[in-house]
Amino acid sequence: MKITLLGTGDAVGTPTLGCDCSACMDALNGGRSKRSRFSILIEGEGAVLIDTSIDMRYQLLKAGVSHVDGVIWTHSHYDHYAGFGEFYRIHKKVNIYGTKEILDQILKTFYFMCYQRHDVTLYETFSLIGLEFMLFKVSHPPLDNAVGVRVRDGDKTLVITGDTAKNIPEKSLKIMSNADLLIADALAPTFGLKKHMNAVQALALGRELNAGRIVLTHLSHSFGPHDIAAKKWPLGYDEMSFEL
């Protein structure tokens, strides 16, 4: 299984419009602080997208991806699904996966698209591109139906928290335990957040779950320039990839 972080930014991305902070200036100068919006590519016997960010066209062109076998949506916030329209007239009958509630919310926007819908039940496994997937509930208020994703390839396990606050349900925590790689939401370094974990909380979660490795994503410009911040935090960056 190959995992590529297509986009590691928060809803506004970095550089942020109108901002001249050190992270945004690093991004404007071509540094790794330049972050497009959140999306992850999973490759096995094919390719699956976890969320379709606003920057989807740019991300797929940069990654050299012209076809995907499926899209999995974690929740119905625009920065995680709005790029689905980039497949219009290019990619026919895209297979899309998510809970009924998430798909009902998102597909109202894409009445003009041609797709194959697959409603997924929480905590039940399904097979796709030769890998085993499972969706589990997380906490991302005010939404009540946001999910994370677990992916297994033989004895290797990837867990993606999705957008979540720290109070993840106990049933989900059991599903998330002992991952070889945990890709965790961490919007900011330390300050309090209602809808997202910060980096301190995400690292604590990784230790609690006994994750083999943790990488932080969905990052805002508040971390500062990537190369400096990455000395303290295990920050992901756009186009970072892993093999499990």
Residue 206 belongs to a domain with what CATH number?
3.60.15.10
Whether the CA torsion 156, 57, 184, 242 is positive or negative: it is positive
27: three-class secondary structure by DSSP: helix
- In DSSP notation, 91-123 reads S-SEEEEE-HHHHHHHHTTTTT--EEEEE--TT
What would the pLDDT profile of 70-124 be if each residue is shown by its tens digit? Answer: 999 999 999 999 999 988 888 888 999 999 999 999 999 998 998 999 999 999 9
Round the average pLDDT of the chain to a whole number and report it.
96
- Of the candidates 70, 127, 125, which has an alpha carbon nearest to the alpha carbon of residue 136? 125
**Average pLDDT of 48-55?**
97
> Do residues 6 and 53 make contact, with C-beta atoms less than 8 angstroms apart?
yes
Q: What is the pLDDT of residue 193?
A: 83
What total number of domains does the chain contain?
Answer: 1
Domain extent, residue 171, equals 2-243
pTM here is 0.95
